[in-house]
Amino acid sequence: MHGSSSLRVLKILVVLFCSFTWLCYGADLLDATKFSQTLSKLATEGLGVADLQQEFDQLQFNEEPVNGTEIILSLTANITNKFKERFNVVRQLKQAVEDAYSRSQSYSRQWQCCRTQDFSYNLEYDSRFRQKVDVTKACLKTSGSARSNLRYLDDSFVKTMEQMLNDFPFIKWQYFGSEEGMLTVFPAFEDKATCPGYDPRYRPWYVETATPEPKDVVLVIDTSGSMSTTLMNVAKEAANTVLSTMNPRDRVRVTNYANAFNAAFRLLKKSYPGQGSTRNMVIIFLTDGTPSDDKTNIMQTIKDRNAELHNKVIIMTYGILVNKNILLDIANQDGTSYGVSMSPGVTPGKFTSVSDTDNLRNAMATYYDSFSKNTESNNPIISVPYIDAAGLGKLKTFVYFLGN
């Protein structure tokens, strides 16, 4: 046993040494005898392997039997407790948000996190957050595409969050992301990011909570028509936005074939588990003009292909700078204007006319609204670990989805 531990040290040395030698001289220059002499010299003189071994040999060991069942039971109990505590916190926060919303609107002294320097925040270094924070105040992060008439949470809500941090010192950031595109963060911190750069609606914890059911999404960007380079770039950006809203269990494929719907349905069909499946299936179709194919043919293709998938596919269409009826008909899967009867049981999607290219990102990023549950869930959702935008490394978030 003692011999094997010193062998392992040597093995690591050999690996390090070889890569160094090859990099510098090439393997053919290696003299095996010299190499082994150098290695043992390094082990004894450089690392003191022999001395270490002597120390190890003198150590006293006691054998203690370990009861695996007992460890597992204790671990289970500990993990259960840990989750229970965090669920408790998020439940109380949920209640506090609901209370704040039910009170008459009163504005509090919250400013943008990127401007805490300019206002009366008292920022002090706090090791729990690894940066300067003000543990008596909240600050805001508002998206550039947030709605006007934002609803602010009042001072009592901030007081509740302060109380939570005192009562449960293990928690980190507490935040509330609204559907309007604003995030209330507690404690306030000095945000180095540019002011309107953050949108809570694209964060993993938000999207995952709003659409916890897994979904299959095919994104179709029509390049057959007149799409200019600028529009193509906007489309690509929008595609990236959609990708950023995917939760880890979603499967995504991007296609730009002319015969787009055929290809899109084919992709969905490949991963279709059968009639009992509860996965949401979505085709997102983005175009800047009338599709170049024959319209009857398009509607018939959609009808036939969706029938193969028990009409479970929802189609969302986005027209950049156009407002064409065909896009509305495709979203509704209604081909009656082109002599293709409508299948019973299809779920209509939504057509969005994007007149302003700046608006495209926002419009597409919230495509999931049409099948998000829109009802309160009884249980909090724990997000898959993700990298904290405020620099706390990998985080898990406990989230509640509040319905309307």
Ligand X SMILES: *[C@@H]1O[C@H](CO)[C@@H](O)[C@H](O)[C@H]1NC(C)=O
Residues found near ligand X in the complex (CB under 6 A): 67, 69-71, 74-75, 78
Q: Give which of 223, 226, 183, 220 is closest to 201, Cα–Cα.
A: 183
Q: Are 365 and 391 in contact (CB under 8 A)?
A: no
Q: Give which of 173, 367, 207, 381 is closest to 282, Cα–Cα.
A: 367
Residue where the block lists tokens 């840990």: 82
Question: d(Cα 12, Cα 20) in Å, to the nearest integer?
Answer: 13
Write the DSSP symbol of residue 141: E
| C-alpha separations of 374 from 82, 98, 192, 211, 242 in Å | 29, 15, 34, 9, 20
Question: For ligand X, which is the closer residue by CB, 71 or 384?
Answer: 71
Min dist. Cβ of residue 256 to ligand X (A): 52
User: Token pair for residue 223?
Assistant: 């390049």
| C-alpha separations of 349 from 106, 108, 330 in Å | 38, 40, 8
Min dist. Cβ of residue 76 to ligand X (A): 9
Q: Are 291 and 326 in contact (CB under 8 A)?
A: yes
